[in-house]
Structure formats: structure tokens, C-alpha cells
Structure 1
């Protein structure tokens, strides 16, 4: 049986850290500037085996920008509190039902396509999986950066802890599990970095919006914890960075960082 897979990219205009972020222009190696939302769309187009791609937004300017480069838009309300809620609402606007729904963050244009492929393959391999998300094993260099950020009162990334079946036990902005062992820069560690992309079964995604925001979700500011608080299994899928840099665009300073990666790799 062929399972229909769609990618939905949630995008909102309002942001306390970077208003209008999806429309921020990023210049690549050819000197051509493309908006963040267009570059996120281009990333989605690199994922093989996807039947459809949509941008879900509540903003007319973003919607028009997407239509201008030939993308498909689903309009959503302005009451969505996070990307998962926006994707869940957009799912209701699909003309035909989907079997697997992928949430590709609209601020992560450097996400390697094989991260998304890994999620889709895991959902197809194990039909009991309700939701899947990628994790990367931290090397010593990355772990030391996470620990140093926490010492300085900053959040360097989200970590994931999972059981022997790779089903998530917890996600946190703290560095978990605790370890005080020193690691060489290129050594493997017991800490895994969570990458913010998701694949869902439509039924579970639809349930998400009916569940109340959980205490842990509020404390950590992590939308995926709502699934765990409702005893819905989240499968962690191990992926490899393969030397790929994948900055997210969270603040205006990240524009230059992402442009640097685009130019360094010769990407238009």
C-alpha cells in the first residue's frame, strides 16, 4: 500500500525576536536573494517521495510571497500557539487525506533532506509509530558548547532521552542525561541533540489540538512534550549530520550565519 506523504511548513509573521522572519531575505552564492520561506520550500522540494508541499500561515504577506514563487498555501487562524497546532489546522484544509504529515520548520532552511527521509522511512517501517523526530548524537565539541551555554544562562539546544526502542522519555533545554566525564572534541557522547522536525499520523496530530497545554510543555517551551504528557509515543530517529551545518534562523544575527553557509557550499 502506497502511503501519501505531505510536508507542511508552518510560518507566522509575528515573532518577539524577529518580526516578519519568513520574509527575511537570504543571499546565496550566486548573489540572488530569496526569502526564508522560499528557501524552506526549496529544502522541502529536495526530499524524495513526497506527494505534496504546503505552507501554512495566518499572514497575507507570507501567503502572497509563497504564491509568487509558485508554492501552495493553506491559510490558518492566528490563534495557533506553535507550529504543531498550525500544521494540525492546515491538515483540515487538505483536499485529499494524507497518511504521513511532516512538519518542516519554516526557520530551518539548512535542514538536510535525509533527516526528513529518515522520519518518513521510520513511519512506513513501523506503523505503530504515532510521531517521529530526528536526533543527532553529540560529539564532545557540541556537548561542551551546550554545557557552556547553560553555564552562561543560555539555551544551546534541546536534548532527547529515549528508551531501548528509541521512543522518547523526555525532551529538555537542559543537557540530559547528566555527565561530568570529559570528552574529546570528536568523541561520541551519551547526549543526543533533538532536531526540530516532525512526522505525524493524522489521527494523533488531530488529537494534539484537543489536548490541553501541559505543565512540562509550558515550563520547557517545547511543543512536543504535549505528546509525551498525553502518553503518545514519539519515536526518535537517529540521523547523521555528515558534516552539514544547519543553523536555524531565530534572530536577525542568524541571517549572516546562514548566508555564510549558502555561499561556502556554493548554493544559489
Structure 2
């Protein structure tokens, strides 16, 4: 099965402008931009035939080419990474069987998360899939603290018994009333797998009210009746966290240093 990894990146983030070019210090003291660290993470994925950075910003494109990435320029009209992926796949000479969207703000994404997603996409009945991770106590405390302090942190997923998604939210769902005995909370990992046809259809749909309210692109699939398959993955001791706010820089750098990531 052919699979390509796209890394959508935009400069004009509403919560953190210029985020892809923010420098993160690794275990050796070397500074690398967020987009470079995301690309390096993608390059370790087994089963990916190619990795592309997708952007509409010349600054990001120049930086990406500088560290050796292949770049596809997309339009400024793309409202989210999924729409950017739809534009990207249209530029390929032949579409792959699976398109992987690895968010440019998630450099701590372990390769086995993406590999599990590629494996799940081998089922031809799956149109779109995304990994989910059962939260550990440290992550759950970060989630709850962010919301209490008015920040939007990670995204949670609520699923049916068969693993298909019921909903995704930037709130902590289900409600956590007691951190000493919390309910099971699933952290949505910012990676998606799509069929090229699903991307084409997605690009033709308008934003729905839930997508607008939450700012979560995957809700457009649910709002249009397309099942989203959740793929449980294991952290294997690795702390997973996206860079959503400036406060996350220190969190991510601490993990880079702990894990010995240069």
C-alpha cells in the first residue's frame, strides 16, 4: 500500500503566530524549528513512501527546503490542514492509496503512532482514521490545568464501543470532577489518515457549526456522516504533547531532553 505523509504548516496561527518557525532546544543544546522537528519525526516512519511540507508561506517554505524537505505550495484559502492536504494530493503525479496528515505542531509524535494508522488504513472500508491515546495522570493534569487557566490545550476524543468517533472537543471530555479517580479520557493525537477521495469530498463541504465552534477540522467528517475510525495507540513511556501555546515550548523541550532527542 502506498502512503505519503503531508505536514501542513501555516504562519498565521490565531493562537501562536509564526509557530512553525519557533526554535526548540534538544538534548544536545541544538536549536531546531518546530517544522524541522515535525519533519524529522515523519522521516522515521516505516511504510511512508514520501514526506512533504505543505504551506502557503514563503518563510516556512524557505526554512523547510533549507533542512532538506520537499515542499508543496498550497493556497492561502485553505482553512485547515485537511483542506491543505486535499490541495497537496491534487499536485501529485499519481495519488497514493493513503494520505497521512502529520500536524506540524506535534514533533513528539512517535513513529509507531503513524505506523499504526497506516496499518489500520489497509482496511478498504476505512475512509478516515486518527490515533487516540489514553491519558496518563501527567497529561490529564495538563489538560485540566490549561482549561482552568483559560488556555486551550490538547483535544479529547469520545468513542463508541466499536472505536468509531462520537465527538472530539477542546474541552476535557468526559467531565473530570476528581483527579484522584478520573474517568477514562482519550487524548486525540494530531495525525489523520485519509483516502484521496475522502479528501476530495471534504474540500467541497462547507464548515459546519461544530467545526466552527471547536476549531477542529475532523468534525467536518462527522457532520457530513463520514465515520472516523479511532486507532488506540500506546505511549510506551513517551510523553506526547503538541505545541498549542507558548507555555508548551518548555514542556516539549523537557521531553526532548529527557528522551535524548537532539
In the superposition, the TM-score normalised over structure 1's length comes to 0.90
Residue 87 of structure 1 aligns with which residue?
Answer: 85
1:50-90 Cα offsets, whole Å, 9 max, x none, are 10110000011211111111110000011111111111111
Cα distance in structure 2, aligned partners of 1:53 and 1:207: 23
Check 1:153–1:193 CA distance in 2 against 1; reply closer, same or farther (3 A cut).
Answer: same
Contact in 1 for aligned 2:153/2:244 (Cα 8 Å): no
Contact in 2 for aligned 1:137/1:189 (Cα 8 Å): no
Residue 214 of structure 1 aligns with which residue?
Answer: 208
Residue 169 of structure 2 aligns with which residue?
Answer: 172
Cα distance in structure 2, aligned partners of 1:213 and 1:9: 21
Residue 129 of structure 1 aligns with which residue?
Answer: 126
- In structure 2, the residue corresponding to 1:190 is in which secondary structure? coil
Residue 75 of structure 1 aligns with which residue?
Answer: 73
Cα distance in structure 2, aligned partners of 1:182 and 1:29: 31
- In structure 1, the residue corresponding to 2:204 is in which secondary structure? coil
The equivalences for 1:188-199 within 5 A come to 189-199=183-193
Cα distance in structure 1, aligned partners of 2:9 and 2:132: 23
Shift, 1:114, TM fit? 0.8
Contact in 1 for aligned 2:20/2:33 (Cα 8 Å): yes
- Structure 2 gaps of 5+ residues are none
Contact in 2 for aligned 1:88/1:209 (Cα 8 Å): yes
Moved more, 155-164 or 72-81: 155-164
Residue 199 of structure 2 aligns with which residue?
Answer: 205
Contact in 2 for aligned 1:183/1:189 (Cα 8 Å): no
The correspondence for 2:95, drawn from 94, 97, 101, is 97
Check 1:156–1:257 CA distance in 2 against 1; reply closer, same or farther (3 A cut).
Answer: closer
- In structure 1, the residue corresponding to 2:135 is in which secondary structure? strand
Shift, 1:181, TM fit? 6.6
Shift, 1:6, TM fit? 0.2
- Structure 1 gaps of 5+ residues are none
Query: Alpha carbon RMSD of aligned pairs, Å?
Result: 2.0
The correspondence for 1:31, drawn from 13, 29, 50, is 29
Moved more, 140-149 or 230-239: 140-149
1:162-211 Cα offsets, whole Å, 9 max, x none, are 22221111112233334657645xxx843212111101011001111100
Cα distance in structure 2, aligned partners of 1:145 and 1:256: 13
